[in-house]
Structure 1
Amino acid sequence: MTQSNRDLFSRAGERMPGGVNSPVRAFKSVGGDPFFAQRAEGAYLWDVEGKRYIDYIGSWGPMIAGHAHPEVLEAVRAVMGNGLSFGVPNALEVEMAEALCRIVPSCEMVRMVNSGTEATLSAIRLARGATGRPRIVKFEGCYHGHGDSFLVKAGSGALTLGVPDSPGVPKALADLTSTLPYNDFEAATQLFSEVGGEIAALIVEPIVGNANCILPHEGYLQHLRQLCERHGAVLIFDEVMTGFRVALGGAQERYGVRPDLSTFGKIIGGGMPVGAYGGKAELMRQVAPSGPIYQAGTLSGNPVAMAAGLATLKLIQAPGFHQRLEAATHRLCDGLEAAAREAGVTFSTSRSCAMFGMYFRESPATSFAEAVGSDVAAFRRFFHAMLEEGVYVAPSAFEAGFLSSAHGEDEIAATVEAARRAFAKVAAG
């Protein structure tokens, strides 16, 4: 019997908070009910009613080689017959550690975990333990998972203490979190000049992917690097989105800045639940059992996730892989902007290799304040018009989009044609 999206969402609402297991899936910011995926292949998703969508989410980034890539699936089949998890070391996690340290410029040692959130929480604990300092610095619009220290709103200025952004977050933790406006050189300098001796770590998405797609101003990441060095703070790049996507070695390779620690997510598991953090050996050796800073995980480095991740990393190291992705992203974004101009709709895009953002404003945002000032109502109309056309973009005006190597000329042309009709609907109101 064929299931319907609406019936499944109704059933889910009875047993799952909001009917979902992660908030953005509920379509709250765009309205309407979500669809339920049945399967995925290449650049496409199919829902339980059989409708096909060109997918620009890719499980929120990790499907850089496309869904259900045959080489990734074969790698999983080859190991899963031997067991899904052992709770003891296995050879594949050693291979993964060696691969990450070879690919990522700043990583001398790594520790596997089970999600991006776990990676960022662990990196913050390591930074606090290594420096003996309590304060962390984060940025407006950056999302580092749902750890208590990260769910803090910005104050009215660089030194204003944050307030918890969610019930259940102790105010004491909010008091130890400072929030800065992204791309603001002066605000970062001021904060470090006044409380630099308290700062254990500064954590940043080098390209902000959770306020759409905000690129760093020239020299900004280098400025943060210099501030951390001057004041003895640990610089953490959250590369859960940008890692292996905006360049093989991530944003740190693209912009030529080496953080002290980096965090990674599902892309190193081929989309399976996995994460990692890594960096300077002198820091990483302070993690148990080498050092006193405790972190553990029964499923960390499990063989199935490692097999999927190693197969994915092999695929993306093919000559020209990222150059082809970047060219495809430019074709898509240029086509979307042209379609918007034809319809008379104010629209702009940002892009970095296989990551892009869409803004219903004159130019791409360079800060969270600019991002939230875009026309959200126009985005909602555009989102639903594209969904009707069989194109799935993020169900939020404040999330980045992702291309994969499976998005070819046909998929991009179909997307741009769908956008022409969608922008016409936006223009009509």
Structure 2
Amino acid sequence: MSNNDTLFQRAQLSTPGGVNSPVRAFRSVGGTPRFIQRAEGAHFWDADDKKYIDYIGSWGPAILGHAHPEVIQAVQEAAARGLSFGAPTEGEILMAEEICKLVPSIEQVRLVSSGTEATMSALRLARGATKRDKIIKFEGCYHGHADSLLVKAGSGLLTFGNPTSAGVPEDFTKHTLVLDYNNCEQLEAAFKEFGDQIACVIVEPVAGNMNLIKATPSFLETMRRLCDDFGSILIFDEVMCGFRVALGGAQSIYNITPDLTALGKVIGGGLPVAAFGGKASIMKHLAPLGGVYQAGTLSGNPVAVAAGLTTLKLIQAPDFYSHLSAQTKRLADGFNAIGQKHGLDFCADSIGGMFGIYFNSKVPTSYAEMMNSKNSAFNQFFHLMLDQGVYLAPSAFEAGFVSIAHNNDIIDDTLRLTDEALSELKK
């Protein structure tokens, strides 16, 4: 029995399912999760000291690679000064100023500790500022585990959503309208019927939790126009894609200005930092200035802020994003070529430092199209790659991540092993 098996059996005695986040449990792909003991650059090592090329990067934050020496030094120096104060620090100001500088749509920002907090708070703020209740989200977009966001599509075009988690009362989701991603017609119809009741639209401009699926420009442009016409607030959930796909986030690629933005992952550099921010005219509704309450004891934690601020400084290096995007595209193009070589329904896509692998004849553009992929084939592929030392997301519905530490040799090794895995899968 491996050390991973032993640890997993032990973990299940004290932790539900043996994990502290469900996707880590390997439930969708089967097998025993790997317990990681250390990481460096583009690699990590499990409890059996087996080395893996890492393509989850802590689900996004490790854009510099693991254990970057400057980030580690910043954390050590901050920790030596004290772990938490429950009072303001200059570091919080520096972080806020840096975010506002890099994301022009954000005039003011509030720091929190998780992406769920960021989206939940942005939603409450939108409702408080507009004095409306209804919200629009899109099938397949994940915005954290707040009650009103754990919603699946209703039974008809304009029916409201149903809870996707036990413990979420239907009353909590009765104001949530769930539409198809990249469907402009549904969006138009929803605003035509409910426009004066809609507080906000929340969307991942680059979705990462139904695998990597990009919004079409027309989809986001329609959304922006309708929100303007009806006085609704447009929220971009860039917890995953913010600073991952470009220095200014997905909004800088699409040239769309949201009213509010939720950020996370990269801005913490591996420690728990998230944020939400936007127009000052909306942010003024937050306590202590306004009537929308939001608070957090560890918000703006000095150690976490040190890691995040150092990361934000380092990703502004010249050509950082052009190189990161080129490496990620090199990987995706390689996947596509190998899929064609073997005559399999296997393709890939990328944007910035994010990529998607699909057992499909074409790149999906919606949750429904993603559901038509051959996900059982992905499960076999995942384990073939894992056995060879390549750690992909343990779910067909999760995007992958490349760091600046993934050099040509690492990408080439990955593609060579992919070729071998697909040869075996084809048999």
Q: TM-score range by the shorter chain?
A: over 0.9
Q: Which amino acid aligns with 1:285?
A: K
User: Partners of 2:156 and 2:321 in 1: how far apart?
Assistant: 39
**Does the Cα contact within 8 Å between 2:112 and 2:296 map onto a contact in 1?**
yes
- Aligned residue number for residue 12 of structure 1: 11
Counterparts of residues 145-156 of structure 1 (less than 5 Å): 145-156=144-155
Please state whether the residue corresponding to 1:219 is helix, strand or coil: helix
Alpha-carbon offset, residue 33 of structure 1? 1.1
Please state whether the residue corresponding to 1:133 is helix, strand or coil: coil
Please state whether the residue corresponding to 1:369 is helix, strand or coil: helix
Counterparts of residues 266-281 of structure 1 (less than 5 Å): 266-281=265-280
- The answer for unaligned runs of 5 or more in structure 1 is none
- The answer for unaligned runs of 5 or more in structure 2 is none
Alpha-carbon offset, residue 344 of structure 1? 2.4
User: Partners of 2:58 and 2:206 in 1: how far apart?
Assistant: 18
Q: Which amino acid aligns with 1:379?
A: F
- Aligned residue number for residue 192 of structure 1: 191
Alpha-carbon offset, residue 312 of structure 1? 0.3
- Aligned residue number for residue 182 of structure 2: 183
Matched, 1:282 2:307: no
Alpha-carbon offset, residue 54 of structure 1? 0.4
TM-score by length of 2: 0.99
What CA deviation, in whole Å up to 9, does each residue of 1:144-176 have, x standing for no partner?
000001111101333112111111101111111
User: Partners of 1:320 and 1:31 in 2: how far apart?
Assistant: 40
User: Partners of 2:72 and 2:273 in 1: how far apart?
Assistant: 16
User: Partners of 2:78 and 2:33 in 1: how far apart?
Assistant: 34
- Aligned residue number for residue 220 of structure 2: 221
- Aligned residue number for residue 122 of structure 2: 123
User: Partners of 1:75 and 1:237 in 2: how far apart?
Assistant: 30
Q: Sequence identity, in percent?
A: 57
Please state whether the residue corresponding to 2:424 is helix, strand or coil: helix
- Aligned residue number for residue 318 of structure 1: 317
Please state whether the residue corresponding to 1:59 is helix, strand or coil: helix
- Aligned residue number for residue 30 of structure 1: 29
Please state whether the residue corresponding to 1:93 is helix, strand or coil: helix
What CA deviation, in whole Å up to 9, does each residue of 1:65-94 have, x standing for no partner?
111000100111111101010000001000
- When structure 1 is superposed on structure 2, of 110-119 and 261-270 the one drifting more is 261-270
Alpha-carbon offset, residue 3 of structure 1? 7.2
**Does the Cα contact within 8 Å between 2:350 and 2:356 map onto a contact in 1?**
yes
- Aligned residue number for residue 265 of structure 1: 264
- Aligned residue number for residue 307 of structure 1: 306
User: Partners of 1:121 and 1:146 in 2: how far apart?
Assistant: 9
**Does the Cα contact within 8 Å between 2:267 and 2:273 map onto a contact in 1?**
yes
User: Partners of 2:328 and 2:407 in 1: how far apart?
Assistant: 10
What CA deviation, in whole Å up to 9, does each residue of 1:286-321 have, x standing for no partner?
111111111011100111011101110011000100
- Aligned residue number for residue 398 of structure 2: 399
User: Partners of 1:156 and 1:345 in 2: how far apart?
Assistant: 34
User: Partners of 2:292 and 2:2 in 1: how far apart?
Assistant: 49
- When structure 1 is superposed on structure 2, of 276-285 and 215-224 the one drifting more is 215-224
User: Partners of 2:84 and 2:156 in 1: how far apart?
Assistant: 47
**Does the Cα contact within 8 Å between 1:106 and 1:260 map onto a contact in 2?**
yes
Aligned residues: 427
**Does the Cα contact within 8 Å between 2:137 and 2:202 map onto a contact in 1?**
yes
TM-score by length of 1: 0.98
What CA deviation, in whole Å up to 9, does each residue of 1:231-268 have, x standing for no partner?
11110000011101111010001110010000011211
User: Partners of 2:408 and 2:237 in 1: how far apart?
Assistant: 31
Once superposed, what is the RMSD of the aligned Cα atoms?
Answer: 1.0
User: Partners of 1:219 and 1:400 in 2: how far apart?
Assistant: 23
Q: Which amino acid aligns with 1:216?
A: A
